[in-house]
Structures are given as structure tokens and as C-alpha cells.
Structure 1
Amino acid sequence: MNEAQPQNHHPDETGPSRRSVLWTAGAAGAGLGLGGLTAGPAAAAAPRAAGPSTTAAAPSAKGKTMIGVPFERRSTVRVAIIGLGNRGGSMIDLFLAVPGVRVVALCDPVKEKTARAARKVTNAGQPAPAVYTNGDHDFERLCRRGDLDFVYVATPWDLHFEMAKAAMLHGKHVGVECPVALRMEELWKLVDLSERTRRHCMQLENCCYARNEMRVLRMAHAGLFGELLHGAGAYLHDLRDLMFDPTYYEGPWRRLWHTRLRGDLYPTHGFGPVANYMDINRGDRAVRISSIGTPALGLAAYRKDHMPPNDPSWKESYVGSDRTISLVQTAKGRVIRLEHDVSTPHPYSRINSLGGTKGVFEDYPARIYLEPDQGNDEWGDFSRYTQWDHWLWKEHTNPPGGHDGMDYMLVFRLMQCMRLGLVPDFDVYDAATWTAPVPLSDRSIRANGAPQEIPDFTRGLWKRARPGVDSEKPEE
């Protein structure tokens, strides 16, 4: 996959305003703290020093499961977008490109961004959207609207939980950029809210819809890799210049997380696709994670070489490991390796590998070794396996938008499920599972790599096989 263009390979959401950044930064420093990111009544149980760990007890369900619950069928999906920076400001183009979707409302305290997005809506031939620009909490007023079906959240990470909560409490399905939340108790609250309100809350992980990932997924489910044994995923992306750029993000919110957490800040790009390969929450589940991390040197070194002595960043002390490496074990004994590094020089990679008893796939560059296709101890050509492309990629051979089309595939498929009244490809249980490594990897690193239990957010229903991203093409 070609991800060399800056405008296409940065899936990170930008914030609503500098005032919001200051507010959330102060909250994190004063009230949330590192303990607040990992502890809480619904957090995973404390690790044991040695031996296998038991699963953490799940809190009592607040409602019936959302597993297998379809959307309500509708002819037009009415969408609101909260956050119109780098991510939201580009994703609006894809919502407008999908038939049967109307962008009804927009929210961002930066009025220029909201106005620019509103012009895109009218230029696409749709009625002028309602705009919400009155401060950092105007999203609450947006969520009270009665003419919305889906709320898309693309704001700084601190705000994701509150915005998803507000959307569900006001009867809207919600999709959130990565990560869906940052604290274990917040992940449980989102699960409980989804079940109680009967609204879907989804981690909109675009990498699950990349062409290579979807091809490997179908090959894995067809048995070409044999019995699955191991996989790996990552977010290895040199963001140093962007994190210190005063204009790319709306303030320093992204960089400031490196002053708070030592763990994997962005696990879902790697974890989501591998979880799909292994049917996590659909016959297997992630049970524990062990993480280690390097010293935090990269951002300080970059600052020394590139930032003037009066820059505000000189007041920051970085603790986030330059590279974190986590091992996740599943109930079936499989192993998933996750890596994160955004503060040292290296080419972009999500690693994206899968191995089983019949062979292995590795990405960046894409290569494959399968028996009996290969037997000469040399990698095979992955392009020979195009017949295993997902139907989405066969139907949309040249999709618009960033990230080589996977953003469009995500939006198209989600909107299709909502129009046709289908079960979404992933749900709140996947969102919580894929995001859990954020707080748990930090906890593990601070405990010298001690394993941390990953809660069973499905409350035992992971044992049931069920469909996911490897979907069948529906009848329109």
C-alpha cells in the first residue's frame, strides 16, 4: 500500500479548538492522571506475579447484548459530524460521496472549519447543514436533534468518551475515531450504554477495510493459512514533525499524551485487522497483554534539533516509550504482537502479519509463503491471490479518498448497513477490546511487563461464532 502522501497517511483526528486543548490538557494533568487512565471499578484485575492469570469479572449487564443487533432500515442516513479538522474535514467528502447519505449537522468551535465543511455540503447539492460552533460543549445540543441517525466523532482523544456517551443517550448510533476511549472504566461505560440505549457504538477502524487486510481476512477464513497461530500489527509512523507543527494539529494535544502515558497510544490500526483474522469476540478472545517499552528519547531529541529555545514544548517532559511492544494471548493460545512508535525515524508500517500451520503473510512489502504454493524457501507473490479480494474491493476498484481507498470502504459499508438494516461489521465489544491496550499497556510497562487481564466485554458471548468484516454482499 502506498502511504507516502502526507495528506493521505495521517489518520489522526484534529481538535475542536485551542481552548478545548487547554481545557482537556488541564483536566488530564489535574484530575485524570495516570492512575485514572488505568484504574477504576470496572478495570481489569491486578496482575499476578507469575503463572496464568484468570479473566477479570465483568460487571452486571445494563441491558441485553448488542451482538447481532441490526440497524433500523432507512432510505436515507442522516449524519452529523463532530470535529472538522484534519480527519473530520476530509472524511466529510466521503460521507457526501456515498449514495443515500445526508449530512445534516456539523460541530466545531473553530468557525472557519465549520463554514468550510458546510460549503462542501451545499456544493454537493444537499441542503445547508445546521452548524454548532458555540464553544467546546455545543456537541451536546447537536446530539439532542431529532433528525439524526448517526454521529461521527473526529476530535481529540480526551473528548471521544463524552461525545459517544451524549450521542447514545440521545438515541443516536455513533462511530468514533481511534481510540474510542482512554480509560478502562470508560470502555465498560460505553458497553453498558450501548446495551441500555440499544444504540451501536463503533470504533471506526479504517485499516480493517484496507485491501490487503481484507484479502488476508478472506484467505484466513477459507483455511489457506491452516490453523492460525500468530499475528502482528502496529502503528509505526514518524509523526515528529507534525506533532511539533503549530498548525497541523489544533494545539499540542497529540504530543502532550507523550507526557502522560508510557504505553501504546494507538493500538487499533494493528489490533483490529488481526483480531478480525482470528475471530476475536467471535469464537476466540483476547485474554491478557504484556508490554515493554524503550526509553522516551525521540521527541526530546527532535525538539533539541528543531525547536527554538522559547518554544512552549521545552516545558514538557516526555515519558511515552518511543517504541512499545506488546504480546496479547488469546483464549485459544494464539499470540498477537502489537507495536507502536511515532517518535523515531523510520518508514511507515503497520506490520500486518499472520501465520498458521500452512504458511505466513507479511506486509510492508506484501509477501506470502503458503504450502503447497511455495516450497523453495522463497517468498511468493501476494498479487497472485487477487481472487480472494473482498467483494467491496471487487465492486469498488478505484475508490475515492485517502489511505488508498480504505476510508471510503469503511464509510460506504457502514452507511450500507444502516440503509439496509444490517448488523454492523463490528460493535461496541470490538471497540472496547481493540482499545483496551491503551491503558493496559501503560499499566504493564509500569509493572515491568507484568501481564494485565483484558476483560471479556462480551460477558461470555465471545464463544459464539458470528459474522464480522468478512461479509457477504447484500441484496440492495
Structure 2
Amino acid sequence: MHESAPQNPRQPETETETPGHAQDPGVSRRFLLKSAGAAGAGVGVGAGLGAGPARADAAAEPAAAAVPRRQGATMIGVPFERRGTVRVGIVGLGNRGASMTELFLAVPGVRVVALCDKVRAKAEKVAATVKAAGQPAPALYTKGEGDYAQLCGRGDVDFVYVATPWEWHFPMAEAALKAGKHVGVECPAAMELDQLWRLVDLSERTRRHCMQLENCCYGKNEMRVLRMAHAGVFGELLHGAGAYLHDLRELMFSPTYYEGPWRRQWHTRLRGDIYPTHGFAPVANYMDVNRGDRAVRISTVGSPAAGLAAYRAQHMPAGDPSWKETYVGSDLSVSLVQTAKGRVIRLEHGVSNPHPYSRVNTLGGTKGVFEDYPPRIYLEPEMSGDEWGDFGAYAKWDHWLWKEHANPPGGHGGMDYIMVFRLMQCMQQGLVPDFDVYDAATWSAPVPLSHASIRAKGAPQEIPDFTRGQWRAGRSGVDSVKP
């Protein structure tokens, strides 16, 4: 979606567009060596790009991966410190960071005290928005790519929000945690398996929350289905599906939409699902993943990579830097995730071909099924035959957040504001957050593991138990009780 396009209630939710940081030219080799080794999936380092093909006799069933020794007590069930005012520092002030700043400002009791982006003009523009909202001028950190560490070190910042290119999510979250700050990161939380483990360890050691700010968990449809699922309306849950299907070709080749080519260049590095959380997280919530069930393994297959090269040939002039790129990312990746209870979650990712926007968002059980885009439902015993029912007739199941905020501000149908409001509410009232670092790690794990599975001809990869065995206990999550 272009910045000038009108907001649509069912429009795509987030791409962490922009703060203009440089690429790490060594990310591909480093990523693959670490991820393949950490996956413990019997496919070895050969699963990496540039390595030879995976062994044909690779084990179909993944071996158990070693679980790192816990460095601190669990963060499950740990509440925030109660505070009347939440002071926020924002890192990354492109399309996403700038728009989210307005939503933080819209929540009573929240102050935006510091901003960071290496492009000073962007920081100054967002600072003007802060002052226009009646707040003091925020401190600006614009002295290069490492200045975010100075923001994290401020004594008057309670929460750091990160909306930068994906390769910067981990180092910025790490810096925030080490500085004693709670941190929320855009999707995905990190690109490497060992980085996800390190965030888990840091969160436990520093006693600070590290959260994947997955706004789709707060979509109106998603929250309604969540409450219905937990009330048993769908019966015993059996399967679900989520996706990120969004034609991003024009945006990825735009010279202005993203700050540089970072988003497109990930398609030169990884073959699998590089943006899984919008589809995975809501279905994981329906099934109480990390709250009574666990995602155990993932197997992924991918189509050829043709769409970006075809678009480049049609639209980009000779001599454009993109002609030096070789795209390997599957135009469509399809993953099957199995849980400890035997449920199946299908994940799809496709951004390189013509396709109307869809997150799929499906949930099925012994009493019926919900499918989104468009939303429709089929339930027994009230329905029979081959006709879908009207999902709008089930508005009584809407979450209390949507009943209290029927017309929330901001884009993406209001889910962004609902997420920010709820997070700030939890911090102000000293509540346990709706999701935690274990969810962040689980939802982001398909990034490296789907790539490894494709390289291993679809061989299943073990999804680590980031909770270290504590997933078996039921606990609250996004389906929260009104405080």
C-alpha cells in the first residue's frame, strides 16, 4: 500500500518500512551457518545458500535440539511495573514508525520522549508531530546507525519501540534489554534461530519483556474468532491456516517507499517464509500455542523464484542496481506446522506475484470452520447444506477491546491502535502482557526453519521449545479479561 493510498479496514497491516539502515553484507552466510546448526534437524550446514544440496537420506523426523540452559527465571506470568505515565522511545521513523508514533500519542498517559533515525529529516518531521500533540520536544538521535544505543540508555525511557529493517531488530532489541528497557519489535523479531534464543535468555536475565508487536492478533475478526474458539464454538480444534499474500513488487522496486533496497534484498538470501507472523500468530493464539499446546515441527516447500525478476525485466531500466541481484526466495512458500496435540497449521507466503491481499485466517474444528477474505463461517447444528453463514451475525463474541473502541484511530482497520492501547494499558496498570518473548520467538522461528526445510527438500525441522517445558500450563493471552 502506498503512503498516499486511502486506508481500508481490510488493508494490509504492516511492513516495517524504513529507517534507512545499511544492509549487513555478511548476513547470508552467517545466518545460514547459525540457523542450520541451531535447528538440530538432521540437515546440517549444507542447508545454506551457496552450499551443496541437502542429502537425500536426511532424516524425516527431526532430532531433538539442545535447549540452552536457563539464565534467569521464566518471564511467563511476569507483570509490568505499574506506572502512571509510560515514556516511549521510538527507533525507526519511516512509514511504520511515523504512523505508530501518532497512535502512541493518542493513548492517555503516554509520552514520546525520544526518537531515533539516521535520516535527521525524518526524525525532525516526527518530532513536530509530537510537539503538535502538546508534548515536550523529544530528544533526537540521528548520529548514524549506532545511535539507537544512546536512546536505549536514557533513564527516562520505559519502553523502546523498534520499527526498522529486519536485520536490525535483534541488535536493537538486545540493546534495549541490556539497558533495562522493555522492548517491542516489529515483525519478525529476529531472522536467526540463535538470535531468538538470545532474546529469550536476555529477557529472562534482565527481567524485561521483549515482545513481537504483532498487530494482526488484535484484528477485529481475529479477536472474535479467538473468543469463539476458546468458548468451544468450533468444537475440538483440528486445523488452521494463516498467510501473508500481498503483491509487493511495485513497492519493493520503488526508490522511495522503503529506505533503500533492504526489503527486496531479503529475496536474494532466503528461500522460505520471511514474513510469517501475520498469519501464524493469530492461529497460534486460537490454539493456545505456548499456553497448553506447542508448535513442534515445520515442513516447507517452495515454488521457483520468478516474479521479481520478471517485474524487473518489465519495469526497471538497464543499469539499475537491482540488475545485480539474483532472487532465490520462493514466489510462494507453503509450510505445515504440527503441534504437540497433533493439530496442523498451514502457512503461506507470497509477495512476488499478482494476488489480492489475504491473510487467509482459517480455523476448523469438529463443529465447524471459519474462513476469512471474505469472512464466512459454517457451524453445526445451526447450518446445513453447502451454504456459508454470515460471520457478522456473531458480533456478540467481539472482544471487550473492540466493544470499548468501536471506531479506533489509525490504519489497518484499527488493529494498530487496539494493540498500542492494550500494551500501554498493561504497562500503566502493572498487568501481565498479552504475549511475551516466548511467543515472539515461536512466531518468528519459521523464518530460518522454513528456509532450512526447503533446502532439505521439505524435510521437517524442529521448532524449539522456547518455554523450556512450560508450554503445558494454560494461561491467559490476547483473549484477556477487562481490567
Bin the TM-score by the shorter chain. Answer: over 0.9
TM superposition shift of 1:227: 0.2
Correspondence for 2:17 among 14, 28, 32: 14
1:456 aligned partner: 465
Would you say how many aligned residue pairs link Structure 1 and Structure 2?
465
Give a deviation string over 1:281-329, Cα, whole Å, max 9, x none.
Answer: 0000000000000000000000011111121111110000000000000
Question: In 2, are the aligned partners of 1:84 and 1:154 still within 8 Å (CA)?
Answer: yes
* Displacement of 1:206: 0.3
Give yes or no for the alignment of 1:330 onto 2:339: yes
Matched-pair contact (CA < 8 Å) for 1:55–1:454: no
Task: Output the CA distance in 1 between the equivalents of 2:36 and 2:198.
Answer: 14
> Residue 419 of structure 2 aligns with which residue?
410
**2:42 aligned with 1:46, yes or no?**
yes
Residue of structure 2 in register with 1:364 after alignment: 373
What letter is aligned with 2:271?
R
Separation (CA, whole Å) in 2 of partners of 1:6 and 1:277: 31
Query: 1:376: Cα distance to partner?
Result: 2.4
Are the equivalent residues in 2 in contact too, given 1:33–1:260 (CA < 8 A)? Answer: no
1:75-224 maps to which residues of 2 (within 5 A)? 75-224=84-233
Q: Does 1:28 align with 2:6?
A: no
- Displacement of 1:387 in angstroms is 0.1
**How far apart, CA to CA, are the structure 1 residues paired with 2:33 and 2:69?**
24
1:380-409 deviation digits (Å, cap 9, x = unpaired): 000000000000000000000010000000
2:407 is aligned, of 387, 390, 398, to 398
Q: Does the CA contact (< 8 Å) of 2:148 and 2:172 recur in 1?
A: yes
Is the CA contact (8 Å cut-off) linking 1:39 and 1:183 kept in structure 2?
Answer: no
Partner of 2:46: none
SS of 2:242 mapped into structure 1: strand
C-alpha distance in 1, partners of 2:471/2:218?
22
Unmatched segments (≥5 aa) in structure 1: none
The one-letter code matched in structure 1 to 2:25 is: G
Q: Aligned pair in 2 of structure 1 residues 329, 33: CA closer, same or farther (>3 Å)? A: closer
Deviations 1:234-281 (A, max 9, x none): 000000000000000000000000000000010000000000000000
* Whole-angstrom CA distance in 2 between matches of 1:70 and 1:54: 35
Matched, 1:72 2:81: yes
How far, CA to CA, are the matches of 1:232 and 1:413 in structure 2? Answer: 25
| SS of residue matched to 1:372 | coil
| Inter-partner Cα distance in structure 2 for 1:335 and 1:9 | 25
Distance 1:369 1:44 in 2: 40
The reply on whether 1:227 has 2:236 as its aligned counterpart is yes
Give the 3-state SS of the residue equivalent to 1:39 in structure 2: helix
Superposed CA offset, 1:352-399 (max 9, x none): 000000000000000000001211221000000000000000000000
Q: Which amino acid aligns with 2:89?
A: A
The residue aligned with 2:302 is 293
- Superposition deviation, residue 34 in structure 1: 3.2
Does residue 471 of the first structure (1) align with residue 480 of the second (2)? yes
Alpha-carbon displacement from aligned partner over 1:139-161 (angstroms, at most 9, x marks no partner): 01111100111000000001000
Q: 2:177·2:208 contact (CA, 8 Å) conserved in 1?
A: yes
3-state SS of the aligned residue for 1:361? Answer: strand
CA distance in structure 2 between the partners assigned to 1:432 and 1:366 by the alignment: 29
Amino acid in structure 2 at the alignment position of 1:470: D
1:398-457 CA deviation, whole Å, 9 max, x = no partner? Answer: 000010000000000000000000000000000000000000000000000000000000
Q: Would you say the 8 A contact 1:25–1:256 is kept in 2? A: no
Checking the alignment, whether the CA contact within 8 Å between 1:44 and 1:455 is kept in structure 2 is no
Alignment partners' CA distance in 2, 1:44 and 1:106: 40
| Superposed displacement of residue 4, structure 1 | 12
**Contact conserved, 1:106 with 1:118, CA < 8 A, in 2?**
yes
**Amino acid of the structure 2 residue aligned with 1:204:** L
Of 226-235 and 309-318, the range deviating more from structure 2: 309-318
1:215 CA displacement: 0.2
Q: CA contact under 8 A between 1:55 and 1:287: conserved in structure 2?
A: no
- CA distance, structure 2, for counterparts of residue 6 and residue 342 of structure 1: 21
Equivalent-residue separation in structure 2 for 1:222 and 1:243 (angstroms): 41
Task: Note closer, same or farther for the CA distance 1:317–1:365 as it changes in structure 2 (3 Å cut).
Answer: same
Separation in structure 2 between the aligned mates of residue 310 and residue 264 of structure 1, nearest angstrom: 30
C-alpha distance in 1 between matches for 2:430 and 2:230? 25
Q: Tell me, in whole angstroms, the C-alpha distance in 1 between the residues paired with 2:106 and 2:323.
A: 43
TM-score (norm 1): 0.95
Distance 1:82 1:442, change over 3 A: same
* Matched letter for residue 26 of structure 1: P
Counterpart secondary structure, 2:26: helix
Structure 1 residue 240 and structure 2 residue 249: aligned? yes
Given candidates 444, 451, 463, the residue that maps to 1:435 is 444
Please give the secondary structure, in 2, of the residue aligned with 1:282.
coil
Mark the CA change 1:44 to 1:73 in structure 2 (over 3 Å): closer, same or farther. farther
Question: 1:299·1:343 contact (CA, 8 Å) conserved in 2?
Answer: yes
Q: Distance in 2 between matches of 1:130 and 1:224?
A: 50
Distance 1:337 1:219 in 2: 20
- Where do 5+ consecutive residues of structure 2 fail to align? 44-56
